Amino acid sequence: MANNDQKKILDVTCGARTIWFNKHHPATVYCDKRKEEYHEIWKNAGNCSINIDPDIQCDFTNLPFENNAFSLVVFDPPHLTGAKETSWLVKKYGKLDKNWPQMLHDGFNECMCVLKPDGVLIFKWSEHDIPAAKVWKAIGQKPLFGHYSGKSMRTFWGCFMKGVGNDDPN
């Protein structure tokens, strides 16, 4: 079991921490299954780099934390299925294989396990390759509410609460 030093927030897919304003927030444990560094991967974009350097390298389907440990969990899993392994998109965001419904289902359940009762899970999804509706089907639950954003409105931010289901029949 990893020691979370009583931190309140867990990001299970931190990647390069792009979504974070403070990329070293003191209340947060940053996790990812990869530890990788890439330099100059965007041609003509100067010295751009991607640094994936989690506090703890682990798999979101098998998290090394006690149950009921965090108040907030951030889950931003890979969403690409078709991109080339060598593309910058895959270097930055990773890629799903054909087992993705089971993997997201297991990851979601594991995030719920480490959340405290009434804890909040923020789920980020991009509909680049897979509609969000298929993801909710895979995990067996829809968010309480959410919001589409981004230039093409394909990025969805959804909110779940441990112990509070969504009884929307649609």
Ligand X SMILES: C[S@@+](CC[C@H](N)C(=O)[O-])C[C@H]1O[C@@H](n2cnc3c(N)ncnc32)[C@H](O)[C@@H]1O
The stretch near ligand X (CB under 6 A) out of 15-23, 83-91, 110-118, 145-153 is 15-23
Q: Does 108 bind ligand X (CB under 6 A)?
A: no
Give me the phi and psi of 11, to 5 degrees please: -105, 110
Q: Does 33 bind ligand X (CB under 6 A)?
A: yes
| Contact residue for ligand X among 4, 7, 10, 13 (CB under 6 A) | 13
Least separation, in Å, of the C-beta of 167 and ligand X? 29
- Number of residues in contact with ligand X under rule CB under 6 A: 20
78 belongs to the binding site for ligand X (CB under 6 A): yes
Minimal CB distance to ligand X: which residue?
A: 15
* Residue recorded with tokens 């981004």: 150
Q: Which is nearer to ligand X, 153 or 164 (CB)?
A: 153
- 60 touches ligand X (CB under 6 A): yes
Q: Which stretch binds ligand X (CB under 6 A): 52-60, 81-89, 115-123, 157-165?
A: 52-60
Nearer to ligand X, 99 or 170 (CB): 99
| 3-class secondary structure per residue, the chain | CCCCCCCCEEECCCCCCCCCCCCCCCCEEEEECCCEEEECCCCCCCCCEEEECCCEECCCCCCCCCCCCEEEEEECCCCCCCCCCCCHHHHHHCCCCCCHHHHHHHHHHHHHHHEEEEEEEEEEEECCCCCHHHHHHHHCCCCCEEEEECCCCCEEEEEEECCECCCCCC
Tell the residue number behind the tokens 């890439």, with chain if given: 38
Does 19 sit near ligand X (CB under 6 A)?
yes
Binding residues vs ligand X (CB under 6 A): 12-19, 32-34, 52, 59-61, 76-78, 93-94
